[in-house]
């Protein structure tokens, strides 16, 4: 078996068929498709079984709801191929990307293959994300810089992993996290690899989950997940002797904080600042504020820095307006 594709599924009846039917490699790749139904309450469970009847490459696992990390871990337990990749149920594979995947599997001389992708917003506008602009094709140091200081490699999909490395080192997804679990998986996997290859060829259409996702869990859990990924990145930097990346990493996390506050103010429309103040005065956020180099920020981010550092009353109206403008521009 060449490739196991793991698809976690929860209430995805509207796009599940399109996702799975996009997995039609026009190559000689021998693959298995593992559908993990994570306790769906719509017709997803039935659709999974129907798809399995149509295609003998498909394995279906029905389980109680445990979240996307739990579903992916269950998929890893079932996987049996040399390589494994992940695909979300609301995304699709790109036909022209299969040749690059086959090239990777046939060569088999790398521990990690990373591919570019298309990012599609809620208005169906597509943007090509070419990772070769940021990472040289086989440069681990460049990969580490991007992994530690940007969001380009935060997701687990559009990558090929060796299953034996995952199994040998007990690498899995943290089921306690609501954000950042993908990044932690990639960071843990990175610790055990030596050779990579990056492709400019896009293999996935990623449908952006917009701000409405904030309704599904407490925004403070986003902060907690962010702090956990910051901790893991810091540990990786210390272990690897890459102190040079600290400043850029903190600048990246400051941008993450501003995005989370933006989502909260625009989507949840809080009536007072108490919850925001509780979070921005937490040790983790204070650590980010303390270590962010203000002179490395643009003028707008410097203004946001002041708002957050001094818990300015303008925080809520500023981010509410910014969220409205962002929606108009998307």
Please, is 244 exposed, middle or buried when counting C-beta atoms within 10 Å of its C-beta (0-12, 13-18, 19+)?
Answer: exposed
What confidence score (pLDDT) does residue 210 get? 42
Token pair in block for residue 314: 């303008």
Identify the residue whose tokens are 């200081």: 149
pLDDT band at 82 (very low <50, low <70, confident <90, very high): very high
Check pLDDT > 70 for residue 68: yes
Span 254-302, pLDDT tens digits? 999 998 888 888 777 776 677 778 878 888 889 999 999 999 999 999 9
In order, the DSSP letters of 238-288 are HHHT-GGGHHHHHHHHHHHHHHHHHHIIIII--SSSHHHHHHHTSHHHHHH
Can you give the residue ranges of every domain in the chain? 3-207, 212-329
CA distance 84 to 329: 37
CA atoms of 12 and 97, how far apart (whole Å): 24
Torsion 159-162-166-167 (CA) sign: positive
List the Cα angle 255/258/262 in 5-degree steps. Answer: 140
Query: Stretch 163-174: mean pLDDT, rounded?
Result: 98
Distance of CA 31 to the CA centre of its chain: 23
Per-chain mean pLDDT for the chain: 91
For 3-207, CATH gives 3.90.550.10
pLDDT for the residue 32: 96
């Amino acid at each position: 078996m060449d490739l196991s594709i793991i698809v976690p599924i929860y209430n995805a009846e509207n796009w599940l068929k399109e996702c799975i039917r996009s997995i039609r490699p026009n190559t000689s790749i021998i693959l298995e498709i593992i559908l993990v139904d994570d306790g769906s309450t719509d017709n997803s469970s039935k659709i999974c079984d129907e798809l399995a009847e149509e295609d003998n490459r498909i394995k279906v696992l029905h389980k109680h709801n445990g979240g996307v990390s739990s579903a992916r871990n269950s998929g890893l337990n079932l996987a049996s191929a040399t390589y494994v990749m992940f695909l979300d149920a609301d995304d699709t594979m790109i036909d022209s990307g299969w040749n690059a995947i086959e090239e990777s599997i046939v060569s088999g001389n790398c521990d990690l293959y990373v591919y570019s992708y298309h990012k599609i917003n809620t208005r169906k506008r597509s943007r090509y994300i070419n990772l070769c602009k940021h990472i040289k094709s086989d440069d681990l140091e460049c990969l580490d810089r991007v992994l530690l200081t940007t969001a380009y490699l935060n997701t687990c999909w559009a990558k090929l992993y060796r299953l034996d490395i995952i199994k040998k080192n007990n690498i899995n997804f943290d089921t306690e996290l609501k954000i950042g679990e993908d990044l932690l998986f990639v960071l843990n996997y990175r610790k055990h690899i030596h050779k990579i290859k990056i492709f400019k060829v896009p293999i996935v259409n990623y449908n952006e989950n917009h701000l409405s996702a904030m309704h599904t869990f407490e925004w403070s859990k986003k902060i907690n997940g962010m702090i956990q990924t910051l901790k893991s990145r810091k540990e990786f930097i210390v272990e690897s002797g890459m102190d040079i990346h600290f400043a850029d990493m903190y600048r990246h996390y400051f941008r993450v904080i501003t995005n989370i506050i933006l989502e909260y103010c625009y989507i949840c429309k809080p009536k007072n600042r108490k919850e925001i103040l509780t979070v921005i005065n937490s040790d983790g956020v204070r650590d980010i504020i303390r270590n962010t180099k203000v002179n490395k920020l643009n003028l707008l981010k410097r203004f946001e820095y002041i708002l957050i550092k001094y818990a300015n009353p303008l925080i809520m109206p500023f981010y509410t307006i910014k969220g409205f403008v962002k929606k108009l521009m998307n």
